[in-house]
């Protein structure tokens, strides 16, 4: 049956006799694996080379500028690798058809030409359905990437010359369509569906209205305003995304570039997707946004009691969660020892007023170390570049144990350490581009093994998913306690759920052992009681009183090797 080309022909009623999949897990219970479809695995039967060593990933800079051959079938065939890592959800880079020209470099998927078809280089709609069904058999969720702010370079300005946003915000004349067959749905073949203001200038990415009205480079920005043409456009985009919930039974969308969309357009998209999912019987449909901004913006965009004001009207965005960019900008430097640990603690203090309890705050943040863009870096660099294996394990372990929904970028579990001046070098292939019999899905890699162990601890202990989070004071002499303010240090925090405390600690030194005392909850741990290692150590430690009898603090002594990461209960 041919793929639809118009939203007018879409059947959005529930498929007869089909029972759509639903999960009762909360979003903060997930461990998300974010992969680029073109880079995870192709259709070939391959075997990984074993051993504990990390991999650099496959592909030269030139190879990585083009499609490498990854497919949806390749993901389905190797989904056990992701599950065994401990991940419970997949986030796929955009799968919809991009520029069909064989010379196209839109392997990343963010320049969509056809919202109603899977890119044939990735596979077919049937392949997507099969992948989602296999994930559901394993009790795993699948999230797609929704690009509702812009589409691909499907038309050109008058004279087919680049145009830049101008100070008077006036639209540029429309030139013509690049193909008689695109964009799809055909309702998008309307110049009024686009802002037509030209590309965002270097200084305009955070300047309103340029940030919302301008184009992303050559990608064409949609007119998602509240005028008649904008409302028609939003209806088309929203119906197209409902179609994929119906057809493939997906469990959520990651919304690209929400800061650049109109506020009411975000609210409509989220409301319509969530309500449509409910209509199909799907609960907890996950809508998380790419919000490249600080905590003030996070406060506005997420949370049940949070709303924004636009032209005097209250806007409830409806996003379940957002990617935690403030943590991404802070945590890597703290783990590597060149950012003051107090900066990490301050990042959480900035959110204190939002939390009814500090455990609930984890609902609203998807936490990550690195991703396909590394936004904020002029020189692109994966976290593992220049990092020891132990530091990679500690950083991912921090995400798994701290507030939020942890998300790992594909290849991090293998120690991929691409770096360079373009995005391509941090988008390495997990299958060997030069050897058709070899992939890099190595379960014997030390980082993979340790991340898997930490994920199992998380799944076994509700406190690491739901508990309140507190950074802990430490002391080198057992008497004078305080939050660490320099490196090296013992960085420690607790998750407390009801009457259980789980302590997480890490020695930031790359060369020195540390024997610090770490404060624990005196109300939960009487002097002489013991805490046991759940990860990273053996045996038990004893809870001791403060040497000053008038000080009711309790602490445990942690003897940590350089870069040792531990979890105790």
Q: Are residues 378 and 484 in the same domain?
A: no
Q: Are residues 413 and 483 in the same domain?
A: no
What is the DSSP code (8-state) at residue 293? Answer: S
Is residue 358 pLDDT above 90, yes or no? Answer: no
Q: Tell me how many degrees the CA angle 99-104-107 measures, rounded to the nearest 5.
A: 85
Q: Find the domain containing 128 and state its range.
A: 26-93+124-148+231-460
Q: Are residues 403 and 427 in the same domain?
A: yes
Mean pLDDT, residues 5-9 taken together: 95
Residue 356 has a pLDDT of 46
Q: Are residues 557 and 482 in the same domain?
A: yes
Alpha carbon separation from 111 to 97, 154, 155, 256 (Å, rounded) = 8, 9, 12, 12
Give residue-wise pLDDT tens across range 525-545. 999 999 999 999 999 999 999
Q: Are residues 455 and 477 in the same domain?
A: no
Helix (H, G, I), strand (E, B) or coil at 82: helix
Percent of the chain with pLDDT over 70: 97
Q: Are residues 368 and 380 in the same domain?
A: yes
**Structure-model confidence comparison of residues 198 and 303, the more confident one:** 198
Q: What is the CATH number for 408? A: 3.20.20.80
What is the DSSP code (8-state) at residue 105? Answer: -
Residue 198 has a pLDDT of 98
Q: What is the CATH number for 530? A: 2.60.40.1180
Q: Are residues 453 and 368 in the same domain?
A: yes
Give residue-wise pLDDT tens across range 444-481. 999 999 999 999 999 999 999 999 999 999 999 999 99
Is residue 357 pLDDT above 60, yes or no? Answer: no
**Structure-model confidence comparison of residues 344 and 351, the more confident one:** 344
Q: Which residue, 405, 432, 460, sits at the end of a domain?
A: 460
Q: Are residues 281 and 317 in the same domain?
A: yes
Cα separation, 32 vs 320, in Å, equals: 15
Q: Give the total number of structural domains in the chain.
A: 2
Residue 2 has a pLDDT of 83
Residue 12 has a pLDDT of 97
Q: Are residues 536 and 499 in the same domain?
A: yes
Q: Which residues are registered as beta bridge partners of 74?
A: none
Q: Are residues 388 and 524 in the same domain?
A: no
Cα separation, 460 vs 369, in Å, equals: 23
Residue 347 has a pLDDT of 87
Percent of the chain with pLDDT over 90: 89
Give residue-wise pLDDT tens across range 151-190. 999 999 999 999 999 999 999 999 999 999 999 999 999 9
Cα separation, 377 vs 369, in Å, equals: 13
Give residue-wise pLDDT tens across range 62-80. 999 999 999 999 999 999 9
Q: Are residues 350 and 248 in the same domain?
A: yes
Give residue-wise pLDDT tens across range 269-310. 999 999 999 999 999 999 999 999 887 777 778 865 555 666
Give the range among 122-136, 228-242, 339-353, 547-561 with minimum mean pLDDT.
339-353
Give residue-wise pLDDT tens across range 482-530. 999 999 999 999 999 999 999 999 999 999 999 999 999 999 999 999 9
Q: Which residues contact 298 (CB under 8 A, 6 or more apart)?
A: 291, 322, 324, 326, 351, 364, 365
Mean pLDDT, residues 378-399 taken together: 97
Q: Which residue, 426, 443, 460, sits at the end of a domain?
A: 460
The answer to whether 293 and 245 are in contact (CB under 8 A) is no
Cα separation, 203 vs 372, in Å, equals: 22
0.85 exceeded by pTM: yes
Structure token pair of residue 362: 């984890």
Give residue-wise pLDDT tens across range 367-380. 999 999 999 888 99
Q: Which stretches of 302-441 are DSSP H helices? A: 325-328, 331-336, 341-349, 389-401
Q: Are residues 345 and 422 in the same domain?
A: yes
What is the DSSP code (8-state) at residue 523? Answer: T
């Amino acid at each position: 049956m041919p793929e639809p080309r118009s939203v007018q022909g879409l059947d959005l009623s529930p498929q007869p006799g089909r029972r759509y999949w639903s999960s009762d897990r909360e979003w903060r219970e997930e461990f998300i694996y974010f992969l680029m479809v073109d880079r995870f695995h192709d259709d070939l039967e391959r075997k990984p080379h074993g051993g504990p060593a990390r991999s650099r990933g496959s592909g030269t800079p030139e190879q990585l500028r083009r499609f490498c051959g990854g497919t949806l079938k390749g993901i389905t065939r190797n989904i056990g690798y992701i599950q065994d890592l401990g991940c419970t959800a997949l986030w796929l880079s955009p799968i919809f058809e991009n520029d069909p020209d064989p010379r196209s470099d839109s392997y990343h998927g963010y320049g969509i030409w056809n919202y109603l078809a899977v890119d044939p280089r990735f596979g077919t709609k049937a392949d997507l359905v099969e992948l989602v069904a296999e994930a559901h058999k394993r009790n795993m969720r699948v999230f797609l990437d929704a690009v509702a702010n812009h589409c691909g370079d499907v038309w050109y300005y008058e004279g087919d010359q680049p145009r830049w946003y101008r100070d008077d915000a006036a639209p540029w004349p429309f030139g013509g369509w690049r193909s008689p067959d695109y964009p799809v749905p055909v309702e998008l073949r309307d110049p009024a569906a686009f802002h037509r203001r030209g590309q965002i200038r270097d200084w305009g990415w955070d300047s309103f209205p340029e940030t919302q009205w301008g184009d992303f480079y050559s990608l064409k920005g949609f007119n998602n305003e509240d005028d008649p043409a904008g409302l028609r456009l939003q209806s088309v985009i929203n119906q197209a995304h409902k179609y994929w919930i119906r057809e493939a039974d997906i469990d959520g969308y990651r919304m690209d570039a929400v800061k650049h969309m109109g506020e009411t357009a975000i609210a409509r998209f989220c409301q319509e997707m969530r309500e449509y999912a409910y209509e199909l019987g799907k609960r907890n449909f996950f809508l998380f946004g790419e919000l490249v901004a600080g905590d003030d913006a996070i406060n506005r965009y997420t949370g049940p009691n949070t709303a924004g004001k636009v032209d005097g009207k209250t806007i409830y965005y409806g996003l379940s969660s957002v990617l935690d960019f403030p943590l991404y900008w802070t945590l890597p430097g703290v783990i590597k020892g060149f950012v003051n640990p107090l900066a990490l603690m301050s990042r959480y203090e900035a959110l204190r007023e939002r939390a009814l309890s500090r455990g609930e705050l984890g609902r609203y943040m998807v936490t990550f170390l690195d991703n396909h863009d590394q936004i904020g870096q002029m020189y692109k660099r994966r976290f593992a570049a220049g990092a020891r294996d132990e530091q990679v394990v500690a950083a991912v372990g921090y995400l798994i144990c701290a507030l939020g929904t942890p998300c790992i970028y594909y290849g991090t579990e293998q120690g991929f350490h691409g770096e360079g001046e373009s995005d391509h070098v941090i988008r390495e292939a997990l299958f060997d581009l030069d050897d058709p019999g070899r992939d890099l899905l190595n379960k014997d890699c030390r980082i993979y093994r340790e991340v898997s162990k930490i994920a199992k601890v998380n799944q076994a202990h509700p406190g690491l998913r739901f508990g309140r989070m507190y950074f802990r004071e430490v002391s080198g002499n057992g008497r004078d306690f305080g939050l660490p303010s320099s490196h090296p240090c013992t960085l420690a925090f607790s998750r407390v759920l009801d009457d259980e405390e789980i302590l997480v600690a890490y020695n930031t030194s790359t060369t020195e052992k540390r024997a610090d005392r770490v404060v624990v909850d005196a109300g939960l741990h009487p002097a002489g009681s013991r805490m046991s290692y759940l990860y990273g150590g053996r045996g038990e430690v004893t809870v001791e009183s403060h040497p000053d009898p008038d000080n009711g603090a309790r602490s445990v002594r942690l003897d940590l090797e350089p870069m040792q990461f531990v979890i105790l209960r």
